[in-house]
Structure 1
Amino acid sequence: MAFNLKGRHLLTLADYTPREIEYLIDSAIDLKNLKRAGVFPKNLVNKNIALIFEKPSTRTRCAFVVACNDEGAFPEYLGKNDIQIGKKESIADTAAVLGRMFDGIQFRGFKHESVEGLAKHAGVPVWNGLTDKYHPTQILADFMTVKENFGRIKGIKFAYVGDGRNNMANSLLIGAAKMGMDFRIVAPADLFPEQAIQELAATFAAESGAVLTYTDQVGDGVAGCDVLYTDVWASMGEEDQIPDRIAKLKPFQVNQAMVDATQNEEVIFLHCLPAFHNDETELSRQFPDICEVTDEVFSGKRSRVFDQAENRMHTIKAVMVATLA
C-alpha cells in the first residue's frame, strides 16, 4: 500500500506510524532491487538538496550524495566552515533562505533543537542525518537489514549492548517500540536511556505489542536474541571520557562468548559504524581496550555490517523519494 508522505519531515521515527516505517523500508528494498537491475527511475530530477554537516560523516554523506545522483537530484554539501547556522545567522533565517533555494534539507549535527528549528522554518522537507538525540535514517537501514535476513521486523528479538543512553540506543528503542519488537537495552544501569525516552517508548509499545527490557545482566539480555547490536563506547565529542567508558563497558564487549550466549545459530551482528574492532586506527592503538566488538565477530559469518552500511543509501533514497517525489 502506498502512503502519501510528500512534504513530511523525518526528525525522529516517533513521528511515523509502524505502517509508514514499513512502507519506507519496503520502498528501499524495491529501489535496491531496481538499482541492482540497472534501472534508475529518476524520481528527483530537477530537485536540489542541501546537505548540512556540523559533524563529519562517511556513510551519511555518501548515502545522500549517491541517492541524489541515482534519482537525478543535485546535492550541495555545506560543511561547518561553509555555513553560519547558529553563529552569525539564526537557524530560522538560515532555514528560510535554504528553503527558498532547495527542495529538501539534510542536517547532521549536535543539538536536536537545530534540526527542529530548520523543520519549523524551512518550508521544505528536512531530514535528520544525526543529532545528539536521534539518528532515524540509520534505524531504517538497520531494520531493512533485519527484514532482509528474517523476512519480518515485528517480534524480532533485538539486543542493543553497550552505551544505552546515546542517540543510537534512543533511536533503536523508539523504532523497536513502534515496530513491535522484543527489544533489550543491555548496559550499566546508569547508562540506560533517559526516563522521558523510556516513557515515550512505552506508549508506542502499548500500541504495537513490543516488549522492552532494560538490564545490566548480559546473559539474560542477549539470551535467544536474533540481533546483537553495539556502538562505540564514547560518541563524537566524548573522547575525554574514553578511559572511564572502557572501564565501565569492557564487560559489555560483543565477543564470541556473547554470540554463543544467544544460543541462536541464526543470530546476526549489526553496528552503525565506524567500529573499533582491531588495532588499525589511531584511537585503538592509543587505547588497546577500546574495542566494543572483537574482530572475530565483526568480520565473522554472522556479521551484516556492510550490508547494513549499503542500506543507508537505499533507505535514504526511499525517504527522499517518498517526501519529495
Structure 2
Amino acid sequence: MSPRHFLTLTDLTSDELKQLLSRAIELKKMHRDGTQYQPLKNRVMAMIFEKSSTRTRVSFEAGMAQFGGHALFLSPRDSQLGRGEPIEDSARVISSMVDVVMIRTFEHEKVARFAEYSSVPVINALTDDFHPCQLLADMQTYLEHRGSIQGKKVVWVGDGNNMCHSYMNAAHLLDFQLVVACPKGYEPNTELTAKYADRVTITQDVQAAATDADLIVTDVFASMGQEDEQDARLQDFDGFQVNKELMALAHDDALFMHCLPAHRGEEVTADVIDAADSVVWDEAENRLHAQKALLEFLLCS
C-alpha cells in the first residue's frame, strides 16, 4: 500500500484536518499534564534541511523524542543530496532505513519527486510554494482561542508567498473567507486564486481588507533567499505594515498571527506582535503539538 504523504494541506480531507487539529489540542494537554505517550517508540524520522529553521527543527525533533522515537538531522553537507545525487536515488535509500521523512527545501518539485520514490510518508516542512505544517499550528491556535474558523474573515497582509498559498488551501478545507492584501506584482499563484475564487479575494487596499477581520496574519517582506531584494521590497510594501491602526479596523476580538521570525518595525510593529490579541507564541509552540498529531496520523492510522 502506498504511504500517505503530507505535501500540502489538501493531502487531507476537511474532516481529517479537523480531527487532526482536535487531536493536536488533546496531545498538548497530555504533554502539559506530564502524561507519557510513546506511540513511535523505536521509529526514526529523517529530517532533510536544505533551508534552515529554528522552529521546524526543534518542533519535529522534540516531537519525535516525546513520542519515544528518534530524529536524524541531515543538512546539505550531511547527505549525498547536497552533492548532486538524484532525488529518486536518495528517496529510495533513505526511506528504506527510516519510518518517515521530513523535508524543508526551496523547490516544491523536490519534495514531490522525493515522495514519488519514497516507501514511507514524506512531510513538507516548507517549500517556496507551500508551508502546510505552519497552517496546522495556525489553525490549531485559532481553534483554541476562538473556536471554529468556519465562516470567519481571515486577512493575509503582505507577499502572496508559500504561507499565503497554504492559507488559501485552509480557506477551502475549513470554509472561511480569505482576503489577501498585497502590493501589485506580489499576488499569489494565479491558478490557486482561480481555483478558490469563491473564497479568496485579492486586493491592494489593506485598510478595506482589515475592516471587520477575525484574524490578521502577516510574514516578513523578504523571505529566506530573497535577502538581495530586501531594500526594493521595503519600498514596494510601504503601507502594508500591520500596526495598531490597522488592527483597530478589525473586530474587537480579532487575533494577530505571524509564523516568525518577525522583523519588528517592518511588516509588524512591536506594539502589535507583543499585544494581548497577538497569539504568535501559542502559534509557535503549536508547531510541536500539531506536528505530533500529524506524525501519529501518518504512522499510526
TM range (shorter): over 0.9
Q: Aligned AA for 1:309?
A: A
Equivalent pair of 1:55/1:80 in contact (CA under 8 Å): no
1:59 paired residue number? 55
1:151 paired residue number? 147
Matched, 1:300 2:275: yes
CA distance in 1, matches of 2:79, 2:194: 36
Q: Which residues of 2 match residues 187-206 of structure 1 at below 5 A? A: 187-202=182-197
1:8 paired residue number? 4
CA distance in 1, matches of 2:168, 2:179: 8
What is the CA distance between 1:201 and its match in structure 2?
Answer: 2.8
CA displacement 1:279-308 (0-9 Å, x = unmatched):
xxxxxxxxxxxx100001011111100000
CA distance in 1, matches of 2:48, 2:135: 20
Q: Aligned AA for 1:70?
A: Q
CA distance in 1, matches of 2:248, 2:105: 37
1:283 paired residue number? none
Equivalent pair of 2:76/2:82 in contact (CA under 8 Å): no
Equivalent pair of 2:108/2:129 in contact (CA under 8 Å): yes
What is the CA distance between 1:141 and its match in structure 2?
Answer: 0.4
Equivalent pair of 2:241/2:268 in contact (CA under 8 Å): yes
Of 277, 288, 292, the residue aligned with 1:313 is 288
What is the CA distance between 1:86 and its match in structure 2?
Answer: 6.2
When the two chains are superposed, the root-mean-square deviation of aligned CA atoms in Å is: 1.2
Matched, 1:249 2:262: no
CA distance in 2, matches of 1:106, 1:33: 25
Matched, 1:273 2:248: no
Equivalent pair of 2:46/2:102 in contact (CA under 8 Å): yes
Provide the TM-score with structure 2 as the length reference: 0.97
Of 167, 172, 184, the residue aligned with 1:172 is 167
Matched, 1:19 2:15: yes
Matched, 1:49 2:45: yes
What is the CA distance between 1:243 and its match in structure 2?
Answer: 1.0
CA distance in 2, matches of 1:124, 1:19: 23
What is the CA distance between 1:88 and its match in structure 2?
Answer: 2.8
What is the CA distance between 1:219 and its match in structure 2?
Answer: 1.6
Q: Aligned AA for 2:54?
A: T
CA displacement 1:25-47 (0-9 Å, x = unmatched):
11101100111111121010110
Q: Aligned AA for 1:177?
A: H
CA distance in 2, matches of 1:44, 1:22: 22
Q: Aligned AA for 1:146?
A: Y
What is the CA distance between 1:251 and its match in structure 2?
Answer: 0.2
SS at match of 1:309: helix
1:122 paired residue number? 118
CA distance in 2, matches of 1:311, 1:214: 28
Q: Aligned AA for 2:3?
A: G
Provide the TM-score with structure 1 as the length reference: 0.90
SS at match of 2:96: helix
Matched, 1:38 2:26: no
CA displacement 1:126-181 (0-9 Å, x = unmatched):
000000000000001000011111111211211010112x1111111111122100
CA distance in 2, matches of 1:106, 1:63: 12
Q: Aligned AA for 2:295?
A: M
Percent of aligned pairs with the same residue? Answer: 39
2:70 paired residue number? 74
Matched, 1:183 2:158: no
Q: Aligned AA for 1:195?
A: T
In structure 1, list runs of 5 or more residues that go unmatched. 1-5, 206-210, 279-290
Of 218, 237, 245, the residue aligned with 2:206 is 218
Equivalent pair of 1:107/1:129 in contact (CA under 8 Å): yes
SS at match of 2:237: helix
Matched, 1:233 2:221: yes
CA distance in 2, matches of 1:223, 1:323: 39
